[in-house]
Chain A
Amino acid sequence: MSDATAKGLLTEETKTRIRELMAKYPKARSAILPALHVVQEQLGWVPEEAQDEVAQMFEMTPAEVRSLVTFYYMYHRKPVGKYVLKVCRSISCWLRRSEDVEHNLCEHLGIECGETTEDGMFTVVHGECIAACVNAPAIQVNDRFLLDVDPDNVSEIIDRLKAGDPRYPAAVESWKRPEESKGE
């Protein structure tokens, strides 16, 4: 670990971005959460070596940073796939068969929830309400939403993601008012 730390995992670019964030607040440590997101953007997850580096930048103890990284589940503590599919399992989605969504996704990909496919493409995880209850069941794919997911047709999602269309999923695919979706 000391070797990696000596070299550093974070690129200069990441560090510059973190420093910019730090400058925005009266107390630099207020920027710790966005800074960790920047790290995750670079590495895809937040390894311990990176936590240590961030701690040094912020003059915090590494243990404090670990405490934060483990508190917020949006930070990945192990490497994840290119696409992280966060299946909401809160009440609205659950009522609309989110369990089936998760089960079918996992079966289709041949993994358990929380695991990553061998090709490093997909990770399926649980999530709690992502404020898309109107279009339940919902999945969050990296930083975009997939709404009104059809539990019986999850393979289509995987295929489209595999195709690598940068516009899929769209930023917000279909916010529909409740009345509109009623007739479906």
Chain B
Amino acid sequence: MADDLVNITIDGHQMAVPKGTLLVEAARQIGIEIPVYCYHPKMKPVGACRVCLVEVENQRRPMMPACTTTVMPDMVVHTRSDNAVEARGAVLEFLLINHPLDCPVCDRAGECDLQDFTQKYGNGNTRFIEQKRHFAKSKQVGKNVVLDRERCIMCQRCVRFCEEIAMEEGLVIVDRGNRSEIGTFEGRSFDSKFSGNVIELCPVGALTAKTYRFESRPWEQQHYAGICNVSSLGVNITVDVRYDEVVRLRGRMNDEIDDGWLSDKCRYSHLAIHSDDRILSPMVRNDQGQLTKVSWAAALERIVQAFPENASQIGLAVGTRLSVEDGHMLLRLGRGLLKTPNVVHEHEAESLGTNTTLTGRVKGCDAADVILCLGSDPAKSHHDFELRIKKGLRNKARLICIGEQPALVGYADYQVIGVASELWSKLKKELKKETTEEESGLRFPKPRPWEAGGETSQDWDALVKEIRGAENVLVVVSGDIAGQGLQDVARDVEDLGWNTAPHGVIHLRSGVNPVGHESIGLIPEWDEDGNQALAKAWEGMNTDSGLSYAEMCRGKTEMLLAFGCNPLAQPESKKPKFLVQAATHPDETTEKADVVLPLSMWVEYNGVYISTDGTVQFNRQAILPLGEAQPAWSIARELCLRLGASDLPENPRAVYSEVGSLHAALAGATYKDFQTPGQYHWSYPQQADLGMPRPDLSAIPVKEPDMPMWMPAPLTGSTVEGAGRLHRGQTPPPVPGQRDPREIAKLLGLNHPMDRTAPPALTAGGAEKKDGYIPLRVVPSTSAEPAGPTPAGRHHEIGVGPRRRVAVPVAQTALLEASDAADNTTEDGGEE
């Protein structure tokens, strides 16, 4: 053990780190920042930019790049010595000679590594008096990626991302030397499924998003920790809000799931939030067959009156984009109060039943020997999973595709096209056969299919041999495995002995939160034994088996309430007698619905989502519901109230606690489970198996800087997360050889922004009613901030006040306030 550790000294701190650790990582461990541009923890170091130079004692060449140098026994490293400071300053001066210094119009300003490091370590001057290199200012290199070649510092992060991580055609360096620029093959557009990642990776403002250009400044934003609402992978995101508007989504590192990357499908999904066609008020179809706006009260009244006598004639269909809390309140409405057995989520047909345990996890790709795509095509359905598979391939995994012709075929070591279930039973038999054959000879490494000259093999015997030699197998199946005749795959995998987490079967579900909805029973069959607590609490609830989603879509019930789903888009669908839809955007169902309710999108309320591999995650509310929209749990609650229920939970936190007290699958769950950074992803079954105590900490992780400050970018994003970025309540550490800007300000008799007191916060209660409307509150600040002056207010105090105000009707605001106030006191108060 001790052999694997190396003793080193960095800036006088002695430490022992594992052999092979890079200096920059070692320094980070003890909180010493070494600036980096080209280095990125998820990519191979290249040592291209040299800003990370540090002084190492007793070396022939004392200045070493910290990002490519690994620790050596008894190394003595100085990051703040005169030599180191001078070297860094010199490198920065070089990097800036061709830089246009156009920070005032640059999107990156405020979260730019070049800006931050120059301010901290730069010489503050330049000796370059010659003509700078010029390029046309912006060049669209991809559908949504705009390049400013003048700002580029040639760190090659973007190039390496395309080559190493996405492993596909993308950005390259064109030309050489001082003429180098980033580009694509002549005339081709950079349209990768993952193109947005390079924008986040770029440490400067060279690569920018078309959707975000000139839209917002980082210091005007609040950042919220969210969960992607596009696929069931549960990819972690950061939701950046400018006043009341979501301006961009970025990746948020979760090593278990996304590895820090984010596919474009999710990255730009926020565009739907503020799109013009959002449904923002309740509507009822009038006698002329047109939808007309009505008040919430009128719409709900209409629904309550339409409930048929016979409860089993009511169906409740729940979209999987809704949270666990939404599902729970709808279950209460359906089974508990209306007493109908028909409460299901829209992808219930894919359910494997509650008795099957699947051990496959997304991170299982990393150490897998074989990744077996069985009749599934992750590249099409779950974009973010594709990158994880590619990571596996780079490690050691062989990719075997059986059944479908997958989009991933260029990376497959073996592929056999055919009927997945038939091929699987053939494979199973052959794997179970005892073999006496000896593995003979050395295996010469052949180039892999994705390396030039490699080929995908279709050799069945070789494939079987490959799987037989594998220890860790990850079987990837698509959502609809019953339709493919593969419903027994989990049992087979157990027989084969592959079911040790994180390997085994991973079932890529459609939708977003189907697993969450299943764990609280939104499937046709009702598990009476497992739900005794529920039956006791909701006296007289319906415990029969009900209709499937497909049956509901076919108009089997007189009345259908569709929450966040589109039943009339299903094949053979038929409109029931009375159709209610709660929706965010109009679709086929909206066209025919008798009552349409405005539904909040995921960023508009707190909620818990369970990903396809069983990871339970919390999505933080980032903005208030737009217009009159309401989250599904709240609509369900209103309906419950009108059906005579009392004692209903009043906010998502209370709903989730109720989930924890009533559902066996999530027993004991509360929002406290998510209260430490790193606990966003916390799988209940796993935790229970390990007999680990539940973490009990006191504040919901709302702000993202869960990384120590002044760290080189630990996340995908270059800067915002850590490097050089000041967050509220933090003062910059002194930089040797540099004057404190506040002192300079004092000398000049000025008031430095950092010393000013923060402007008075706009409070929730103070808003005045005007014509029956009150202006929307500013999104409540989300962290427990120290009272009084905030020393580092400089990033926040510019331009307080919403850019545009959205009016919210009083009735709804009252409703909101009630739920929110309760929500906020517990969360924002910090302590309980």
Binding site for B on A (CB under 8 A): 1, 22, 27-29, 48, 51-52, 58-67, 70-73
Contacts and interface: CB of A to CB of B under 8 A. Distances in A.
Contact of A59 (B173, B188, B453): B453
A79 B543 CA distance: 80
A62 B452 CA distance: 12
A71 B175 contact: yes
A27 B163 CA distance: 17
Contact of A63 (B170, B176, B453): B170
Nearest to B451: A27
B413 to A, nearest CB: 15
A70 B176 contact: yes
22 contacts: A27-B447, A27-B451, A27-B453, A29-B452, A48-B185, A59-B452, A59-B453, A59-B454, A62-B169, A62-B188, A63-B171, A63-B184, A65-B185, A66-B183, A66-B184, A66-B186, A67-B172, A67-B173, A67-B174, A70-B174, A70-B176, A72-B176
Nearest to B184: A63
A29 B170 contact: no
Contacts of B172: 61, 63-64, 66-67
Contacts of B184: 63, 66
A63 B452 contact: no
A48 B451 contact: no
Nearest to A69: B174
Nearest to A49: B186
Contacts of B174: 66-67, 70
The 3 closest A-B pairs by CB, nearest first: A61-B169, A67-B172, A29-B452
Given A62-B169, A70-B175, 17 more contacts: A1-B187, A22-B453, A27-B447, A51-B185, A61-B169, A61-B170, A61-B172, A62-B188, A63-B170, A63-B171, A63-B172, A63-B184, A64-B169, A66-B172, A66-B183, A66-B185, A66-B186
Contacts of B168: 61
Contacts of A71: 173, 175-176
Contacts of A67: 172-174
Contacts of A51: 185
Contact of B188 (A63, A64, A72): A63
Contacts of B170: 61, 63
A65 B183 CA distance: 12
B453 A29 contact: yes
A61 B185 contact: yes
A72 B184 CA distance: 17
B81 to A, nearest CB: 36
Interface on chain B toward A: helix, strand, loop, or mixed SS? loop
Nearest to A57: B452
Contacts of A58: 452-453
Contacts of A22: 453
Contacts of B451: 27, 29
B176 A27 contact: no
A66 to B, nearest CB: 5
Contacts of B175: 70-71
A63 B174 CA distance: 9
Nearest to A59: B452
A71 B183 CA distance: 13
Interface in B139-192: 163, 168-176, 183-188
Contacts of A1: 187
A138 to B, nearest CB: 22
B173 A28 contact: no
Nearest to B450: A59
B270 to A, nearest CB: 29
A73 B176 CA distance: 9
B513 to A, nearest CB: 37
Contacts of A29: 451-453
Contacts of B452: 27-29, 58-60
Nearest to A65: B185
Nearest to B159: A67
A61 B176 CA distance: 19
A63 B169 contact: yes
Nearest to A61: B169
A28 B172 CA distance: 21
A73 B186 CA distance: 17
Contacts of A48: 185-187
Given A62-B169, A71-B173, A28 B185 contact: no
A61 B185 CA distance: 9
Contacts of B183: 63, 66
Contacts of A60: 452
Interface string B440-481: 000000010001111000000000000000000000000000
